[in-house]
Structure 1
Amino acid sequence: MPEHKVGTREEFEAARQELLAEEKALTRRGDELARKRRELPWVPVEKDYGFETESGTRSLADLFDGRSQLLVYHFMFGPPYEAGCPVCSSIADTLDPNAVHLRARDVTLICSSRAPLDKLLAYRERMGWSFDWVSTVGGDFHRDLGFLYTEDELKPFFEGGIPPTVSQMAEACGTDVLGYVTEGPGLSAYALADGTVHRTYVTTARGLELAMPYYGLLDRAPLGRHEEGEDTHWLRRHDEYGTADPARPA
């Protein structure tokens, strides 16, 4: 534990009240951004996407499952992967128990990946999840949203050198670095109105932290995220903590 300023209870309470005012301002700013997010223009989805599901091939409209809203988490699990991305897996740990509450508010939540459906369902069973997981028919669905990259598009990334954490995650997924970074994570949202599917929102990168609550909790722990200077990522699949070599797929 590093050295840290130690003060009196009175000093703590005074500093805490100052911080609380800033936290409340941030909350109000978050409410304002949520309103603006809802006010984004809706874009009709004109392409006829197909998905392999446990119920056979279905369209994007079919995935709403009788509701008017759909959230899709684009899970990094490409065709060459032997196991899902550990970071996406940590996100799925959060999504899974929330799906039932979202359904109560007219929202269907699913995951979408490009790996064959049998791989996805076997991994879902390993992880103990129950959300619906679909396999895209072709790569257009993820590609059109910016979550699938070509080798040419990735050249600048490779020219800058491969971060150790990327090599670690590729190994954990049972693929090479190119196979790993070809995929990208993301969240997309849709509304079904008058028989037409509209795309209403898309986010990636730190926009996904809403589904990574462990970071919010770490931000409130004494040492915070404490990731600076680490050559490997601390995150593991939930069934790999404490194993001798958690970077390898089961």
Structure 2
Amino acid sequence: MNTLTDSQALTHHEIVTRDRWIAERKRLLAREKALTRLGDEVARERGTLPWVRIDKDYVFDTATGPRRLAELFGPHRRLVMQHMMFTPGAEAACKSCSFMADHTDPALPHLAARGVAFVAVSRAPLTDIARFKARMGWRFDWVSSFDSDFNRDFHVSFTEEERARGDVFYNFTMQPFPQGEAPGISVFIKDNDGSVYLSYSTFGRGVELMMHTYRFLDLLPEGRDEGDLPYTMAWVKHHDRYEEAPAAAAGGCCGSRA
């Protein structure tokens, strides 16, 4: 991973008095407040999106047996789902999707307090999911969609034939995509009679909302410092692999895409 040396940091930044720094900080603060207000406005618009009723009977393989989509909510009426890239036969889930998932467990009690369930879904068989989940030490629910059309219907899995044609439907547009799996987040609502509705989905860089490590990095003078990397998130590893020697650069697993 690229990092700036202390001398580079000093060379690339003007050194000023405290009063000058406060003046410059207040100028930036005005921009930050405008961004916060815009974020609040977008969140309100997100809450007014129409819903889509899920009529297809999806069944998932879970640690407690086969479960339908409505049964993944537990006692809650709202469900946040991570579409996690884990191809059947792979040794591990995508390292960038795993980076997302690393931020989840501490949020679980807070989500539950607001009536929200969380589940990750992958196409890998449940035995592989259980093995990798134990390796990562995660507690969140993680189910397999191996025997269903769920991933393809939600446009996070693509066949070789689809990719060979040049474009797949991802992030609400037709575009080339380098892999057969893609990341995403979806939100579902369950009503009193058990009907389930899709209220929101986000893909591409939208999934960064789960990556609050990036929020810390964005505070630094060098920011994420990914400009010279072979692809965004090239520095990310599974959290139990950071002590290993750097591997040769390879294609991004699910690095941020516009």
Q: TM-score, normalised by structure 2?
A: 0.83
Structure 1 position 132 matched with structure 2 position 121: no
CA contact (8 A) 2:79 2:188 kept: yes
Task: Report what 2:150 is aligned to.
Answer: 141
The residue type paired with residue 211 of structure 2 is M
Instruction: Give 1:208's aligned residue.
Output: 207
The DSSP-based 3-state class of the residue aligned with 1:134 is strand
Equivalent pair of 1:69/1:107 in contact (CA under 8 Å): yes
* 8 A contact 1:49–1:137 mirrored in 2: no
Amino acid at match of 1:184: A
Counterpart check, 1:44 vs 2:53? yes
1:155-211: CA deviation from partner (whole Å, max 9, x where unpaired): 337xxxxxxxxxxxxxxxxxxxx9x82111100000001321000000011111111
Deviation at 1:154, TM superposition (A): 2.3
Partner of 1:193: 191
1:93 corresponds to 2:76: no
Instruction: Determine whether 1:53 maps to 2:62.
Output: yes
Count of aligned residue pairs for this structure pair: 227
Q: Indicate the residue corresponding to 1:116 in structure 2.
A: 125
2:50 is paired with a residue of what secondary structure? Answer: coil
Which has the larger displacement, 130-139 or 58-67? 130-139
The 3-state SS of whatever aligns with 2:228 is: coil
Q: Distance in 2 between matches of 1:147 and 1:10?
A: 51
Deviation at 1:36, TM superposition (A): 0.7
Equivalent residue of 2:104, what SS? helix
SS of residue in 2 equivalent to 1:94: coil
Question: Any idea what SS the aligned residue of 2:244 has?
Answer: coil
Q: Which runs of 5+ in 2 are unaligned?
A: 168-176, 250-258
Matched-pair contact (CA < 8 Å) for 1:49–1:59 = yes
Contact 2:189 2:197 survives alignment (8 Å)? yes
C-alpha displacement of 1:247:
7.4
Letter in 2 for 1:152: E
Runs of 4+ in 1 over 3 A off after TM superposition: 245-248
Distance 2:79 2:158 in 1: 24
Contact 1:43 1:200 in 2 (8 A): yes
Q: Give the structure-1-normalised TM-score.
A: 0.86
Q: How far apart are 1:142 and its partner, in Å? A: 1.3
Q: 1:141 to 1:203 in 2, by over 3 A?
A: same
Question: Offset of 1:215 from its aligned partner?
Answer: 1.3
Give the unaligned 5+ runs of structure 1.
Answer: 158-177
Q: Say which SS state the counterpart of residue 224 (structure 2) adopts.
A: coil
Matches within 5 A, 1:151-166: 151-155=160-164, 156=166
The alignment partner of 2:127 has SS state of helix
Alpha-carbon contact 2:158-2:181 (below 8 Å) kept: yes
Deviation at 1:143, TM superposition (A): 1.0
Q: Which amino acid aligns with 1:193?
A: D
In the alignment, is the contact (CA less than 8 A) between 2:53 and 2:195 conserved in 1? yes
What fraction of aligned residue pairs are identical, expressed as a percent?
Answer: 44
Alpha carbons 1:51, 1:58 under 8 Å: kept: yes
Alignment root-mean-square deviation, CA: 1.8
| Preserved CA contact (<8 Å) 2:122 2:146 | no
Is residue 236–residue 247 contact of structure 1 (8 Å, CA) maintained in 2?
no
Report the Cα distance in structure 1 between the residues aligned to 2:86 and 2:163, rounded to whole angstroms.
18
Answer with 75-84 or 239-248: which moved more.
239-248
- Per the alignment, residue 239 of structure 1 pairs with 240
Given the alignment, which residue of 151, 169, 179 partners 1:181?
Answer: 179
Q: Distance between the aligned counterparts of 1:95 and 1:181, measured in 2?
A: 25
State how far apart, in whole Å, the 2-side matches of 1:137 and 1:146 are.
15
- Structure number with higher helix proportion: 1
Match of 2:74 in 1: 65
* Alpha-carbon contact 1:87-1:236 (below 8 Å) kept: yes
**Residue range with higher mean Cα deviation, 136-145 or 37-46:** 136-145
